[in-house]
Amino acid sequence: MILTVTLNTALDITYRVTSLRPHAEHRVSEVVERPGGKGVNVARVLAALGYGVTVTGFAGGPTGQVLRERLAGAPGITDALVPVAGPTRRTVAVVDQRTGDTTQLNEPGPHIGPAEWAAFLRAYDTLLADASAVALCGSLPPGVPVGAYAGLIRVARTAGVPVLLDTGGEPLRRGIAARPDIVKPNAAELAELTGSHEPARATRDARRRGAQAVVASLGADGLLAATPEGHWRAAPPARLRGNPTGAGDAAVAGLLSGLVDGLPWPARLTRATALSAAAVLAPTAGEFDPADYARLLAAATVTDEESAA
């Protein structure tokens, strides 16, 4: 199975309102609740592709209970979340039906105590024994040490399990030094890590910090990859209009499944680009239409970036 780790899982709530006006009162016309957090979103895409996935991380309180009940109804996903005392955070996405734009409100997440962190480490160790790859995804909840991902990467490497890291800020800076197989920063995370706003330069710089491969997701500009096999840019056939929320998680699912399948890097990047683009086209964040995916898989382009170095 593929293992995804989401230390700060979330109950993702989407509200539809006619038009969001600050300081006004709004009647919410539609409420949708879904298990969330980056690693959970990655798992959902992997399960839709037919891979067996196990999700771990933390869940607690009434929101954690709802999240677990919803996960239990998701085919192909095994719940190995570790119970904690604090309540799982909510995220609220307010969709303005007039403009289609989304305003996002993210709770900070529960405080994780030392005993809870130790329980997670034991669970992680056990789960790695059956994992073909592991993705470490998203922000850290309060109480988790900032070097947590670096430690989890070392444990995975010792167990011989390839590991992908998708986070930002100091957890990324510390994590990358522990030599993960892949890191997938977005443009802002990459610039914060390297101090450079020139993506090609920044991607190579990030790789020199310890990652075996760096795949930067640059929104409409596609993916930029620095790997041991070469440097590439991958892009969908045309600029897409849609909802970019969850596109990065779909790209992670593409990279991870390509790694597990032993695909060469260009094929992994094609898959990640096609999944990411299909997610942008889907009305619900992080979902995708298999027909869009198949079409984009045939149309995505991967170009060699060696000459641009």
- State which of positions 246-305 bind a second copy (CB under 8 A): none
Euclidean distance between the first and the last CA atom of the chain, given in angstroms as a whole number: 37
| Nearest Cα to Cα of residue 17 among 93, 104, 90, 94 | 94
Our CB check for a second copy shows the closer of 107 and 192 to be: 107
According to CB under 8 A, which one of 49, 76, 106, 242 is a site residue for a second copy?
106
According to CB under 8 A, which one of 49, 80, 92, 123 is a site residue for a second copy?
92
The catalytic residue among 166, 181, 249, 292 is 249
Structure-derived torsion over alpha carbons of residues 152, 194, 186, 178, reported in degrees to the nearest 10:
-10
Q: Map tokens 């399960």 to a residue.
A: 47
CA–CA distance, 255 with 284 (Å, rounded to integer): 21
* Surface-to-core class of residue 295, CB atoms within 10 Å of its CB (0-12 exposed, 13-18 middle, 19+ buried): middle
User: In angstroms, what is the minimal distance from the CB of 22 to a second copy?
Assistant: 5
Size of the site for a second copy (CB under 8 A): 29
- Verify binding: residue 63, a second copy, rule CB under 8 A: yes
User: In angstroms, what is the minimal distance from the CB of 25 to a second copy?
Assistant: 4
DSSP 3-state of 246: coil
According to CB under 8 A, which one of 18, 32, 85, 103 is a site residue for a second copy?
103
Triad 97, 102, 104: Cα angle to 5° = 140
The answer to whether the beta carbons of residues 305 and 232 sit under 8 Å apart is yes
Task: Report the relative pairing of strands 213-217 and 163-166 from DSSP bridges.
Answer: unpaired
Active site residue 125: no
- What is the DSSP secondary structure assignment for residue 244, as one 8-state letter? -
According to CB under 8 A, which one of 49, 66, 155, 299 is a site residue for a second copy?
66
User: In angstroms, what is the minimal distance from the CB of 236 to a second copy?
Assistant: 23
According to CB under 8 A, which one of 102, 212, 301, 303 is a site residue for a second copy?
102
According to CB under 8 A, which one of 99, 114, 160, 238 is a site residue for a second copy?
99
Our CB check for a second copy shows the closer of 62 and 290 to be: 62
Q: Which residues bind a second copy (CB under 8 A)?
A: 15, 17, 20-29, 31, 62-63, 65-66, 92, 94, 96, 99, 101-108
Active site residues: 249
